Amino acid sequence: MNLREGEQILKIYHHHPTPFVIQLLALMLGIFPFFLILFWMQGLLSTFWYVMSHIIVFLVFVLVITYFSLVFWLDKLIVTNQRVVFINWRTLTFKDESEAFLNDIQDIQSYERGIFSYFWVFDYGRIIIETASSHTTILFSDAPDPEGIRQIIYHLRQQ
């Protein structure tokens, strides 16, 4: 993303950490059967191969977690004084960039998780920014404080 003349970055938003922690716990539950199978195969393997198989499974697990972490944390919503830019990393080698000029924004919708959104741990949701063009719709899921983001963008549009 290149800044235009006179453009300043006002705020950068990354995903809220709670959904990532939930995904991390799911990955940990997913790795458990592999270690259980290795435990059952303990009598069939020599000590060397038993330890090596544990190390290999653990390293694969670490690589998967590192990959998901990078893809999760590289996504960002950038609010400038002229536009809103969403950088969505689909994989480590492929990303989408969407931008919406503040003057072109027609509608901003925010969705949160009910009464639990009053607590910081659960204060995340989706924000959808629609422009006058039918081609540009920015969808930022797992956004921290979507209502706050919406208010900031509305405030910038009125200036």
Shared domain check, 94 and 110: yes
Shared domain check, 109 and 88: yes
| 2 within some domain | no
pLDDT of residue 87: 94
Task: State the pTM of this model.
Answer: 0.81
* Contacts of residue 92, Cβ cutoff 8 Å, sequence gap at least 6: 67, 70, 71
Shared domain check, 102 and 89: yes
pLDDT of residue 21: 92
pLDDT of residue 158: 81
Predicted confidence (pLDDT) per residue in 37-53, tens digit: 988 988 898 989 999 99
Instruction: Check whether 159 has a pLDDT greater than 80.
Output: no
Element (H, E) at 140: strand 137-144
| 4 within some domain | no
Name the percent of the chain lying above pLDDT 90: 48
Half-sphere exposure of 159 (CA within 13 A, CB side): 11
Range of the domain at 154: 9-16+76-158
Shared domain check, 42 and 60: yes
Q: How far apart are CA 136 and CA 145, in angstroms?
A: 22
Environment class of residue 68 by beta-carbon count within 10 Å: exposed (0-12), middle (13-18) or buried (19+)?
middle
Instruction: Check whether 60 has a pLDDT greater than 90.
Output: yes
pLDDT of residue 120: 73
How confident is the model over 57-73, as a mean pLDDT? 92
Q: How far apart are CA 150 and CA 109, in angstroms?
A: 7
What does pLDDT average to over the chain?
89
Q: How far apart are CA 124 and CA 105, in angstroms?
A: 22
Shared domain check, 127 and 114: yes
Shared domain check, 63 and 96: no
Shared domain check, 82 and 41: no
pLDDT of residue 6: 87
Instruction: Check whether 54 has a pLDDT greater than 90.
Output: yes
Predicted confidence (pLDDT) per residue in 95-141, tens digit: 999 998 988 888 999 998 777 777 777 889 999 999 887 677 899 99
User: The domain that contains 119 carries what CATH number?
Assistant: 2.30.29
Q: How many domains does the chain have?
A: 2
Of the residues 71, 99, 115, the one at which a domain ends: 71
